[in-house]
Structure 1
Amino acid sequence: MRDNGLGLAFLLAFLGALVGQAFAGRAEFNSQLAVDGLAQVGFWQYVSSSDFAVDVTENWQSEYLQFFLYITATVWLLQRGSPESKKMGTAGTEGDKDQRVGPHAGPDSPSWARATGWRQGLFSRSLGLVMGGIFVLSWLAQSITGVAAYNEQRLRDLQAPVDWSQYVVSADFWARTLQNWQSEFLAIASMAVLSIYLRQRGSPESKPVGTSHTATGIEGG
């Protein structure tokens, strides 16, 4: 538990928040059903519904978009003074020696880092590829569950349902999507810039307290 405390703590926090969202979401959903004069739904009926699924997946896709963009953008983009940036003048994928791959790999390096060809190329980009893949899958899940939830509401209002291709260009879909994206972009920019001038003692996301504001790519331990 000591060696995996960070992952375990946030996994438990995730599960707690998800359960809390389910209870609060059901209460709000039933409140809307009452306004429409419809029957209430039970807890398990709600958590298996498209309404709950779309609320969950629209947040997942925005979070994984944030990680994907941050991981890939920081390869090339720098921010002077930020611990979230590489040091100035190091933009790019860096050389094999710096990345400890191929003949420069150590005895404790992953086997695919010591390999050559497609295995090394794939492993060298595996974090961005997985984060991007999860984003695409969660975006697809959001669009599928979203059109189901959207059509349920349209049927309650005695309107004709729409198909998936119509929904993904609709205002409802993009309002749900962009309201999450804008917050993620703001959070990334805030972290990159505020960490230039502010400190959190003991955090690896902050520079050491006494480090110069202009020091770049230096994190605490």
Structure 2
Amino acid sequence: MSGSRQGGQEHGSFWRDNSLTLAFGTAFLLVLLGQALAGHADFNAQLTDDGLQRISLGEYMTSSDFAVDVTENWQSEFLQFFLFIFGTVWLVQRGSPESKELHKIGSESDHEQRMGDHAGKDSPRWAGTKDWRQLVYSRSLGLVMGGLFVLSWLAQSITGVAAYDEQQLRQLQDPIGWGAYLASPDFWNRTLQNWQSELLAVAAMVILSVYLRQRGSPESKPVGTAHTSTGVEG
């Protein structure tokens, strides 16, 4: 979640140069599989208690019950980054490497952002334009994160009402429509329990990074840097 960092031009192997993405991407798939296995066992235990037939792992992974559990976490993560990306344009925290320097509050000048006439030969093509392309590209990260949040939240609502109605039918109760589900306690309980945890995590990271250090991490200031130093990265 730190600001931009300019590295050297040295290139190593594909695996080393992309190790952060590859490691977290692999971990994501392994944890997703673990969630599927655990959720499948739990779901079948519920079916047994209700006197219903158990289902296969494949059937569970294509079910609304699995999908809603996955998407409700995805939307909260994308919300976290969407809010953090846009929030850090105008909001600062003195002493945190997660904040920009105090005097740089705002969208900054074209010179500072290397836009328009100040774009370099290695700048992205749209950064050097002076029309709608520059406007869009200069906010593209936040817009994409916001779009992914909206899409995953929509997916959560659709899979959530399907899972909720399935449970209603198992209990011989009437299903409800999508609109009614959006106003239901089940939907907002699933949503808000994730939002509050993400906001707490961001707030904790921002303030703890003022006083604590992690040697070698770009999410931390250098170990010997003063607590009041802001926007300094290791």
TM-score category of the 2 structures, normalised to the smaller one: over 0.9
2: distance between equivalents of 1:9 and 1:2?
10
Q: Which residue of 2 aligns with 1:111?
A: 125
Task: Map residues 82-93 of structure 1 onto 2, 5 A cutoff.
Answer: 82-93=96-107
Matched, 1:206 2:223: no
Task: Map residues 154-169 of structure 1 onto 2, 5 A cutoff.
Answer: 154-169=168-183
Runs of 5+ unmatched residues, structure 2: 1-14
2: distance between equivalents of 1:191 and 1:185?
10
Matched, 1:5 2:2: no
Give, in angstroms, the shift of residue 158 of structure 1.
1.0
1: distance between equivalents of 2:55 and 2:103?
58
- Per the normalisation by structure 1, the TM-score is 0.99
Q: Which residue of 1 aligns with 2:55?
A: 41
| Structure 2 SS opposite 1:89 | helix
2: distance between equivalents of 1:157 and 1:32?
12
2: distance between equivalents of 1:88 and 1:18?
40
* Equivalent position to 1:66, from 41, 62, 80: 80
Give, in angstroms, the shift of residue 89 of structure 1.
2.0
- Show CA shifts across 1:174-215 (max 9, x none): 000001000000000000000000000000000000000000
2: distance between equivalents of 1:162 and 1:139?
19
CA RMSD of aligned residues (A): 0.4
1: distance between equivalents of 2:166 and 2:105?
49
Percent identity over paired residues: 68
Give structure 1 regions of 4+ aligned residues with deviation exceeding 6 angstroms. Answer: none
Q: Which residue of 2 aligns with 1:51?
A: 65
- Per the normalisation by structure 2, the TM-score is 0.93
* Equivalent position to 1:196, from 210, 213, 225: 210
| Structure 2 SS opposite 1:108 | coil
| Structure 2 SS opposite 1:15 | helix
| Structure 1 SS opposite 2:104 | coil
Give, in angstroms, the shift of residue 111 of structure 1.
0.6
Q: Which residue of 2 aligns with 1:128?
A: 142
Give, in angstroms, the shift of residue 90 of structure 1.
1.2
Matched, 1:32 2:37: no
